[in-house]
């Protein structure tokens, strides 16, 4: 919609906040340098802090974006905005400290902390100034003069469905029906100084649509064609090409291709590093399984991967070798409502297997699945293909729209204490809809205490 005018404003706001964060570093340095009588360690030269200014300028807009600071604010939400700015700047300071620690670079901690405080004041002040002086006058300069083309009923319906944010950027100056043989679209564009045409294709012939589009193309006027396709997440729509012609591309998830590529790269690197670091645990777990029960060390099972494609998943064996043959006899004892099978005191689990399960050590071989590209470090847990085939509600299959993972929200929010498959799926869909690299990192870090202390595991 006309909200396409907002990204430039968003970028300007982010650049301004980055510059203000850099200014905050210089102010913090100056304030720290003005108090020599406090007997504090001597500061480095100001030139050494230029890198710190650059890091703050880059990191601050990222952290503020994570706090939804740049999203349209609801009326009366000033306190919420203040807390968004404070949280964003606090995370910026923490991220900066972590980065400098890893890079083994020393800066005065007082300057870093003061930078976060000054950045909070400056960025919130910038926000308030924009609200006061960049209000109606600024919006008026960006408002589109719109010509609606379509059947009268369709135009009325579409206008009634406009969101408040749409109305803010639209100024309807004319409407017309492209099916009218006497209509001259270029004349309307000239007469009313139109800079945006909204073309409603419902009920129009391909010739009407083509001629209207060609007129806008010749005149250099922005053309907006609302999609006839009704979908739940319009933000996932994008334009692409197919056979050299424009095509609508609907992505199954909101993640950008670049972010997904970064996630894949982190999966490969993380799995490789963990396989090396956890090699002693691998050997110890394998030895315990081998010495305490008969059967193979590894358990292999066909699980449903991305879009339901089967793959062989590996685990350390935690049950007796004939466990699969006993599954049917235990079906009545299933404690999970739904197609998945969970049983608190499963008699098939060995003593060592119970320990491995509680601390998620049995999942370690799945790092090999991650390296093979069949799984991710974070994602919905893969279910056996037989259980996937029992899912009756198609909407629940959307959990298959991403790669399965070693850990997920279900793992850190109850694990086996969750006895409803619907709740399990709800958590998986929450992860898919809110996915970000930041969320993956939070889940990975939250998994560590869950595995160490065996919370919810059995």
Pairwise CA distance, residues 406 & 6, whole Å: 38
The per-residue pLDDT for 221 is 86
User: Tens digits of per-residue pLDDT, 343-362?
Assistant: 677 788 888 888 998 888 99
Burial of 109 (0-12, 13-18, 19+ CB in 10 A): exposed
pTM for this one? Answer: 0.55
So where are the chain's domains? Answer: 2-137, 143-226, 257-453
Question: What is the mean pLDDT of the segment spanning 251-267?
Answer: 80
Pairwise CA distance, residues 171 & 160, whole Å: 14
Which two three-digit tokens encode residue 330?
Answer: 């235990």
Which two three-digit tokens encode residue 209?
Answer: 């649509």
% of the chain exceeding 90 in pLDDT = 22
pLDDT-derived band at 246, boundaries 50, 70, 90: confident
- The 8 Å CB, 24+ separation contacts for 289-295 are 289/316, 289/317, 289/318, 289/352, 289/353, 289/356, 292/350, 292/351, 292/352, 293/317, 293/320, 293/321, 293/350, 293/352, 293/353, 294/320, 294/321, 295/320, 295/321
pLDDT-derived band at 39, boundaries 50, 70, 90: very low
User: Tens digits of per-residue pLDDT, 373-398?
Assistant: 999 999 999 988 888 887 766 667 77
The per-residue pLDDT for 48 is 75
Task: Name which of 351, 447, 339 is nearest 399 in CA terms.
Answer: 339
**How far, CA to CA in Å, does 59 sit from each of 21, 50, 63, 434?**
9, 14, 6, 21
For residues 250 and 446, the model is more confident at: 446
CA 308, 310, 314, 320 torsion-angle sign: positive
Topology (CATH) of 143-226? Rossmann fold (3.40.50)
Q: What size, in residues, is the chain?
A: 458
Alpha helices in 362-454 (DSSP H): 366-371, 385-388, 409-412, 421-433, 437-453
Residue-averaged pLDDT of the chain: 81
Residue 40 pLDDT exceeds 70? no
pLDDT-derived band at 5, boundaries 50, 70, 90: very low
User: Tens digits of per-residue pLDDT, 138-159?
Assistant: 555 567 789 999 999 999 988 8
The residues, ordered by sequence, that sit 6+ positions from 30 with a Cβ below 8 Å of its Cβ are: none
pLDDT-derived band at 284, boundaries 50, 70, 90: very high
The residues, ordered by sequence, that sit 6+ positions from 181 with a Cβ below 8 Å of its Cβ are: none
């Amino acid at each position: 919609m006309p909200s396409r005018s907002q990204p430039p404003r968003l970028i300007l706001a982010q650049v301004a906040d980055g510059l203000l964060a850099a200014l905050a570093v210089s102010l913090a340095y100056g304030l720290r340098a003005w108090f020599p009588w406090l007997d504090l360690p001597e500061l480095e030269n100001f030139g050494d802090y230029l890198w710190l200014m650059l890091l703050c300028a880059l990191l601050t807009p990222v952290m503020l974006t994570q706090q939804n600071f740049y999203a349209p604010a609801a009326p009366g939400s000033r306190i919420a905005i203040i807390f968004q700015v404070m949280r964003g700047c606090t995370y910026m300071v923490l991220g900066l400290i972590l980065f400098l620690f890893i890079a083994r670079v020393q800066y005065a901690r007082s300057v870093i902390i003061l930078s976060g405080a000054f950045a909070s004041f400056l960025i919130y002040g910038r926000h308030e100034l924009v609200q006061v002086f960049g209000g109606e006058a600024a919006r008026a300069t960006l408002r589109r003069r719109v010509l609606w083309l379509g059947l009268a009923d369709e135009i009325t319906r579409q206008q009634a469905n406009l969101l408040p944010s749409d109305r803010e950027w639209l100024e309807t100056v004319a409407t017309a029906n492209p099916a009218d043989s006497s209509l001259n679209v270029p004349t309307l564009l000239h007469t009313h100084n139109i800079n945006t045409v909204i073309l409603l294709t419902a009920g129009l012939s391909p010739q009407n649509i083509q001629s209207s589009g060609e007129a806008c193309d010749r005149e250099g006027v922005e053309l907006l064609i609302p999609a006839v396709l009704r979908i739940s997440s319009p933000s996932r729509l994008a334009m692409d090409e197919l056979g050299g012609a424009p095509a609508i591309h609907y992505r199954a998830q909101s993640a950008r291709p670049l972010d997904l590529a970064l996630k894949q790269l982190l999966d490969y690197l993380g799995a490789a590093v963990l396989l090396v670091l956890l090699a002693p645990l691998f050997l110890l777990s394998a030895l315990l399984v081998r010495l305490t029960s008969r059967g193979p060390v590894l358990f292999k099972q066909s699980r449903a991967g991305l879009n339901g494609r089967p793959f062989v998943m590996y685990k350390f064996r935690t049950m007796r070798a004939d466990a699969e043959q006993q599954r049917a006899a235990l079906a009545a004892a299933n404690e999970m409502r739904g197609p998945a099978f969970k049983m608190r005191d499963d008699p098939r689990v060995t003593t060592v297997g119970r320990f491995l399960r509680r601390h998620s050590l049995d999942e370690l071989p799945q790092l090999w699945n991650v390296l093979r590209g069949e799984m991710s470090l974070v994602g919905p847990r893969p279910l056996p293909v037989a259980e996937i085939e029992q899912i009756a509600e198609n909407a629940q299959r959307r959990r298959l729209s991403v790669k399965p993972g070693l850990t997920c929200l279900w793992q850190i929010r109850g694990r086996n204490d969750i006895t409803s498959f619907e709740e399990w799926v709800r958590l998986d869909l929450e992860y898919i809809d809110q996915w970000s690299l930041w969320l993956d990192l939070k889940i990975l870090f939250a998994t560590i205490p869950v595995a160490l202390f065996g919370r919810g595991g059995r």
